């Protein structure tokens, strides 16, 4: 890691440093936008008691609690991407055809996802407006919804700019930046909650809980790094290459233990936040609000089970969207490659499906455990939702950071290889 950082600051990588600085500049603009309150709301906003919506607030860097122009963040786009991904599973023939068209089809799907995300942003902004802004006419709520939609559009644009001109996936980095900005506030709130009394016994209990919380954070950190870096390597051989030559590196197909990274957790969290968001429009004593608070929050048994099941479902869904055994088998066959002991064609595809299912089961279980530990700790210690949200937030931060680091390391390795190749050509 330190060698990678040292390479970045060499004179040859000046353009790479510019990309990193550009990424930080865009993230700074995002954080600045989270402090700008939607014009016209004044003191009529009530965002107390967000409950499970606290996750959206954390992912937006506290933008929702302040009802800023970035209150929606990129959550509408994530919801839209879930919908378009599901539609590609032969539900709508047009989407399944686009999925088979390679890069051209992916570009069209991405464009449709953007448009759908903007539509969902307006609908979600209207719900936010009625849920958190007291009073106001219809035209006022439409205005607030339009401003929130514009904020989401700007976030998506900044995410695109980071992806093209910066380092890492822009959308994921914006989510990570929001969480990092919220972590200090979360720790301060937790500290104040644990040490609100001067009683010696209560203070000792508070210190114990805080230490346990920090240990849980470290355990999550280690667990995420382990899951994100673990992979199953399937050895492959090529008919036109010798396998007995000394110094010959073994070729293999690397399959990550957790293909979807932190996306299953984000998707599951978004899914559970929808009922909470809709319930906010109604009064606290309404039937929907009572039902959501009793059965659909993660602190309840049913809500916790739904959350865990959703993580499993999205983990399998994302894995089969990213890894396509039939296509992998065809590619191997066209290149003269095969898995030792497995016949090319249908048997290879079946074998790959079995391996992907097995590793996804282990990866999804690991992800569910890591996401579930803070929720269990919250229930046992009777702390606020910030505990479980903080754990999920750390899970997202570590996953996105590792992804960005891999891209940076890959870029440096590629440059080093090109440099060595150029030197060899000059000497020859």
Q: Tens digit of pLDDT for each residue in 176-232?
A: 888 888 777 777 777 777 776 556 777 777 778 778 777 877 887 787 778 777 888
117 CB burial (10 A radius; 0-12, 13-18, 19+): buried
For the chain, give the percent of residues with pLDDT over 90.
11
Give the span between the Cα atoms of 179 and 54, in whole angstroms: 11
> Rounded mean pLDDT of 414-425?
68
For the chain, give the percent of residues with pLDDT over 70.
84
Least confident interval from 3-17, 23-37, 112-126, 213-227: 3-17
CA 152 to chain centre: 17
Q: Tens digit of pLDDT for each residue in 321-375?
A: 777 788 888 888 888 888 888 888 888 888 888 888 888 888 888 888 877 877 7
Matching residue, tokens 């950190």:
221
pLDDT of 347: 86
Least confident interval from 205-214, 219-228, 397-406, 419-428: 419-428
* Confidence band of 148 (pLDDT split at 50, 70, 90): very high
pLDDT of 379: 74
pLDDT above 80 (res 307): yes
pLDDT of 244: 47
More confident residue, 280 or 28: 28
**8 A C-beta contact, residue 165 and residue 19:** yes
Angle 228-27-81 from CA coordinates, rounded to 5°: 60
* Confidence band of 156 (pLDDT split at 50, 70, 90): very high
Q: Tens digit of pLDDT for each residue in 38-63?
A: 988 877 777 666 666 677 777 787 88
**8 A C-beta contact, residue 302 and residue 239:** no
pLDDT above 70 (res 425): no
pLDDT above 70 (res 247): no
More confident residue, 276 or 39: 39
* Confidence band of 420 (pLDDT split at 50, 70, 90): low
Give the span between the Cα atoms of 423 and 428, in whole angstroms: 9
Matching residue, tokens 């891999």:
406
Least confident interval from 80-84, 231-235, 308-312, 411-415: 411-415
pLDDT of 245: 46
pLDDT of 283: 62
133, β-bridge pairs: 45
pLDDT of 406: 80
Q: Tens digit of pLDDT for each residue in 54-95?
A: 777 777 878 888 889 998 988 888 888 878 877 877 677 888
If one counts every other C-beta atom within 10 angstroms of the C-beta of residue 94, the result is 11
Q: Tens digit of pLDDT for each residue in 109-135?
A: 889 999 999 999 999 899 888 888 877
Count of positions (residues) in the chain: 428
**8 A C-beta contact, residue 255 and residue 231:** yes
């Amino acid at each position: 890691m330190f060698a990678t950082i040292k390479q970045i600051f060499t004179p040859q990588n000046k353009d790479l440093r510019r990309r990193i600085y550009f990424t930080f500049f865009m993230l700074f603009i995002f954080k600045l936008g989270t402090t700008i309150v939607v014009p016209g709301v004044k003191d009529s906003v009530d965002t107390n008691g967000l409950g499970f919506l606290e996750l959206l607030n954390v992912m937006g860097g506290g933008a929702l609690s302040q009802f800023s122009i970035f209150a929606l963040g990129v959550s509408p786009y994530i919801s839209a991407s879930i919908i378009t991904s599901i539609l590609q599973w032969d539900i709508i023939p047009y989407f399944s055809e686009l999925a088979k068209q390679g890069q051209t089809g992916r570009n069209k799907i991405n464009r449709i996802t953007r448009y759908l995300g903007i539509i969902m942003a307006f609908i979600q902004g209207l719900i936010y407006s009625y849920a958190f802004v007291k009073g106001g006419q219809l035209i006022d709520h439409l205005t607030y919804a339009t401003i929130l939609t514009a904020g989401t559009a700007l976030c998506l644009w900044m995410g695109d700019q980071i992806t093209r001109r910066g380092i890492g996936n822009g959308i994921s980095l914006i989510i990570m930046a929001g969480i990092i900005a919220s972590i200090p506030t979360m720790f301060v709130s937790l500290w104040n909650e644990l040490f609100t009394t001067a009683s010696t016994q209560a203070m000792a209990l508070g210190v114990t809980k805080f230490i346990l919380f920090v240990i849980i954070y470290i355990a999550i950190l280690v667990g995420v790094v382990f899951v994100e870096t673990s992979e199953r390597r399937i050895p492959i051989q090529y008919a036109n290459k010798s396998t007995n030559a000394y110094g010959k590196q073994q070729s293999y197909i690397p399959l990550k233990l957790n293909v979807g990274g932190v996306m299953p957790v984000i998707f599951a969290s978004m899914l559970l936040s929808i009922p909470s968001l809709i319930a906010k429009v109604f009064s606290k004593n309404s039937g929907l609000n009572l039902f959501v608070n009793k059965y659909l929050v993660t602190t309840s048994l049913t809500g916790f089970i739904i959350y865990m099941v959703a993580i499993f479902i999205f983990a399998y869904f994302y894995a089969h969207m990213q890894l396509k055994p039939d296509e992998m088998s065809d590619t191997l066959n066209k290149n003269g490659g095969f898995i030792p002991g497995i016949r090319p064609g249908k048997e290879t595809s079946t074998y790959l499906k079995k391996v992907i299912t097995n590793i996804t089961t282990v990866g999804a279980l690991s992800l569910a455990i890591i996401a579930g530990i803070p929720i269990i700790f919250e229930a046992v210690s009777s702390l606020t939702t910030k505990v479980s949200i903080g754990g999920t937030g750390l899970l997202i931060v570590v996953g996105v950071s590792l992804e960005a680091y891999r891209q940076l390391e890959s870029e440096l390795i590629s440059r080093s290889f090109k440099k060595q190749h150029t030197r060899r050509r000059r000497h020859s």
